[in-house]
Chains A and B, each alone.
Chain A
Amino acid sequence: AQSVTQLDSQVPVFEEAPVELRCNYSSSVSVYLFWYVQYPNQGLQLLLKYLSGSTLVKGINGFEAEFNKSQTSFHLRKPSVHISDTAEYFCAVRTNNAGNMLTFGGGTRLMVKP
């Protein structure tokens, strides 16, 4: 079975600073990887996804993530954050042998300070 670990439960950062949110997964088969964002009192929205091809994936709101198969990681980055990026971020994985289910990490709360 696959699992997803988000190493940081909270990441405080100042506005306009760069940020990296870490995600590691465990799976013995090919994976599809996702980052979702959840703003307060809202549902989850897809930020970006890796299905195949280029390991550097660009998403909405200036976010990008890099798939690293050897390190089984899919870290999310943004070069300069805004106050409006304050939210909870979830990494998720789907494998070919897991049917149609996504397995989510525990989430990372990004807190952008002025």
Chain B
Amino acid sequence: DAGVIQSPRHEVTEMGQEVTLRCKPISGHDYLFWYRQTMMRGLELLIYFNNNVPIDDSGMPEDRFSAKMPNASFSTLKIQPSEPRDSAVYFCASRPGTGYNEQFFGPGTRLTVL
């Protein structure tokens, strides 16, 4: 298996633009997580899905952020409009169903908003 795949690996955009980050979880995994990593706040959970359904989005910073999982093999995290304070590394992680505790992380998307 190729592991969790994220695209793009790097994104540079201007303030006010829409940004879409993509994630393909490991096949067969029931859970998908979106995290944000910054120097100031460390690693924060934004939202997670179980069987494509959002379960907890309490970590989503504000309405500019939205996440979807239209099917078991694809998820997006969208920021509209983007702001410089959104600059961070965004990680996607997945894990199998109940009984497994380890999360498998993707390589991350480094977002820079100018």
Contact = CB atoms under 8 A, between A and B. Distances in A.
Interface of A: 32, 34, 36, 41-46, 49, 51, 90, 94, 99-102, 104-107
A104 B43 contact: yes
A107 B45 CA distance: 15
Interface of B: 4, 31, 42-43, 45, 48, 50, 55-56, 91, 93, 95, 101-108
Given A42-B107, A43-B4, A100-B50, A49 B102 contact: yes
A44 B43 CA distance: 11
Contacts of A101: 45, 48, 56
A5 to B, nearest CB: 11
Contact of A104 (B42, B50, B104, B107): B42
Contacts of A99: 55-56
A107 B56 contact: no
A43 B56 contact: no
Nearest to A98: B56
B31 A100 contact: yes
Given A34-B102, A94-B101, A106 B42 contact: yes
Contacts of A51: 101
Contact of B43 (A41, A46, A90): A90
Contacts of B106: 43
B48 A45 contact: no
Given A51-B101, A102-B103, A107-B43, 16 more contacts: A34-B101, A41-B107, A43-B4, A43-B105, A43-B107, A43-B108, A46-B102, A46-B104, A99-B56, A100-B48, A100-B50, A100-B55, A100-B95, A101-B48, A105-B42, A106-B42
A49 B101 contact: yes
Contacts of A100: 31, 48, 50, 55, 95
